[in-house]
Structure 1
Amino acid sequence: MGLRDQLNTAVKEAMKARDQKRLGTLRLIQANIKDKDIAGRTEESREGISDDEILALFGKLIKSREDSIALYEKGGRPELAQAEKDEIAILHEFMPRQLDETETKAAIAAVVAETGAASLKDMGKVMAALKERYTGTMDFGKAGAMVKAQLGGK
């Protein structure tokens, strides 16, 4: 079952359970996907975005919520931070298992070896290969720092 089908099923279940908070989050996710679908339309293709693109979108949604949590906690608004954490938990339900730090380091080492990357100039090539293979399962913010460290940066 594709991610869109999983989302639709989850929306129906939330409606039946009368879980307004979950339903609101799921509808927000669907609206973001629809926006991306519309932005990606061309004269030749009316297809929606792929599951990989949806996973990348989920990563961006999670990142923005993590940023909001930091701001809310800094501003002394724990109830708003908790609401963001709840939304992140719902997003994680639809994402594949995330790679841990050792798995991420191993994946980076494999891609560096495959691409023959030797310096920071090759970082873009390594990151592109990682994004192609590990979209939705790797935190690219942390991975970028690890790639930089492995290629001789700070």
Structure 2
Amino acid sequence: MSLQERLSQEIKAAMLAKDADKLSALRMLKSAMGYAQIERKTDSLSDADFIALVQKEVKKRKDSFEQFEKGGRPELAEKEKQEIVILEAFLPQALSPEELEQLVKATIQEVGATSKKDMGPVIKAVQVKAAGRADGKTISSLVGKLLP
């Protein structure tokens, strides 16, 4: 079952369970998916594109969560936090810190990076290999730490 089909199944299940919060978050994701399909002029997204879309939506929610916390709006921050949990169910299992470090070290050797000037190609290669299982900020900081 593709991730898009799974999204449709989750929406149906949320409707039957009368879970309004989950249904709202899933419908927002489906709407974002629809816009992405229109933008790419396609009928369906690949699983990799869908994962990238979910990551983008989760990042939006995290940013909103931080802003609501700073603004003293705990009820809205809690709503964003719940949406993050619902959306993260569509993401693949994240790499552990040890696995990510091994991946970065191997990629540094493959690319032949010798200094911080080579960070860009290393980060891009790691992101391709991680395939949505690690966020860019974590990868960037780890590459910066491991390169001399």
TM-score tier after normalising by the smaller chain length: over 0.9
Tell me the TM-score normalized by structure 2. Answer: 0.93
Per the alignment, residue 91 of structure 1 pairs with 87
Q: What displacement does 1:141 show?
A: 0.9
Q: What displacement does 1:30 show?
A: 0.7
Q: Deviations over 1:76-112 (max 9, x none)?
A: 1111111011000001111111112222111111111
Q: What displacement does 1:47 show?
A: 4.4
Tell me the TM-score normalized by structure 1. Answer: 0.90
Per the alignment, residue 149 of structure 1 pairs with 145
Output aligned runs, 1:1-154, within 5 Å. 1-41=1-41, 46-152=42-148
Letter in 1 for 2:72: G
Long gaps (5+) in structure 2: none
1:138 & 1:85 partners in 2: Cα distance?
Answer: 19
| % same residue | 37
Letter in 2 for 1:30: K
Q: What displacement does 1:151 show?
A: 1.7
Q: Which runs of 4+ in 1 moved over 4 A?
A: none
Long gaps (5+) in structure 1: none
Q: CA RMSD in A?
A: 1.3
How many residues get paired? 148
1:147 & 1:61 partners in 2: Cα distance?
Answer: 25
